[in-house]
């Protein structure tokens, strides 16, 4: 007898200057991921998608999801009482692709900070929903911005991934920080060759199918507290010029 399962999937996209080909490939091949779930004869899937595109410079973080951006996105997560009309996730693939097409690549990246924010998205309960974050970047953490600031919380990020019962998939160049993250339960890390244009050579159609299979077999279990628990103090960050962040002293 066919069952019914649900999944929430967030693409964590490095939106620094070199990432335009990757974002276009995700847009083009997201349908492959949807097709995987539709082809599951044993289960009817209820799948929602979102993305968090991130870029940074001068300690300001430029963030965009399918319906929110900048400080408005942060407020919707960390100050929901001050945010109105905000929403996360969509079941509409065309809507997802349209929003993704609006992402502009620029600046540098702070992937671990962005990961923490993605972990705090309003997921459906882990007891009944598969939760997945797909991290795509063409640079190692160590070549991004604010590296010591980012790496100071990496062990806590692993604990947070466990607490929220999120399956993390990383497709990025070799990095000591990504190696540490890969120790999280059920994490999959696929290093890419940075010397060969990194993600430019990734078969995104094949990747999407593999992600679908991986998410579908992940185990639903009870989770810890779902309330946002920011590790980088982002609930206190100030806004400015469409971005938000902290001063140089952190």
DSSP-assigned letters across all residues of 54-98? EEEETTEEEEE-SS-BHHHHHHHHH-TTT--S----BS-HHHHHH
- Predicted local confidence at residue 87, as pLDDT: 83
pLDDT band at 162 (very low <50, low <70, confident <90, very high): very high
**Class of CATH domain 3-245:** alpha beta
Per-chain mean pLDDT for the chain: 84
Write the DSSP symbol of residue 197. Answer: T
- Predicted local confidence at residue 2, as pLDDT: 54
Structure token digits, residue 39: 């082809």
- Predicted local confidence at residue 153, as pLDDT: 96
The pLDDT of residue 11 is above 90:
yes
The pLDDT of residue 224 is above 60:
no
pLDDT band at 17 (very low <50, low <70, confident <90, very high): confident
User: Which residue ranges make up each domain of the chain?
Assistant: 3-245
3-state class (DSSP) for residue 128: coil
CA distance 38 to 51: 21
Single pTM value for the model: 0.89
- Predicted local confidence at residue 39, as pLDDT: 86
CA distance 201 to 75: 36
């Amino acid at each position: 007898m066919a069952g019914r399962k649900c999944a929430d999937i967030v693409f964590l996209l490095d939106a620094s200057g070199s990432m335009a080909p990757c974002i276009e490939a995700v847009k083009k091949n997201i349908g492959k991921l949807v097709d995987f779930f539709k082809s599951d004869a044993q289960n009817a899937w209820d799948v929602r998608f979102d993305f968090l595109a991130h870029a940074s410079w001068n300690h300001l973080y430029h963030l965009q999801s399918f319906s929110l951006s900048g400080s408005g996105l942060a407020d919707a997560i960390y100050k929901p009482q001050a945010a109105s009309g905000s929403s996360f996730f969509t079941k509409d693939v065309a809507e997802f692709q349209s929003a993704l097409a609006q992402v502009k690549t620029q600046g540098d990246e702070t992937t671990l900070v962005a990961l923490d924010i993605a972990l705090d998205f309003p997921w459906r309960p882990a007891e009944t929903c598969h939760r997945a974050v797909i991290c795509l970047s063409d640079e190692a953490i160590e070549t991004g911005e604010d590296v010591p600031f980012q790496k100071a919380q990496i062990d806590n990020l692993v604990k947070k991934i466990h607490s929220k019962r999120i399956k993390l998939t990383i497709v990025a160049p070799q990095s000591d920080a990504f190696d540490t993250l890969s120790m999280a339960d059920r994490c999959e890390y696929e290093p890419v060759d940075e010397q060969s244009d990194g993600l430019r050579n990734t078969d995104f159609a094949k990747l999407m199918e593999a992600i679908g299979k991986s998410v579908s077999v992940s185990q639903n279990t009870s989770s810890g507290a779902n309330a946002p628990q920011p590790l980088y103090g982002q609930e206190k960050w100030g806004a400015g010029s469409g971005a938000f962040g902290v001063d140089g002293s952190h």
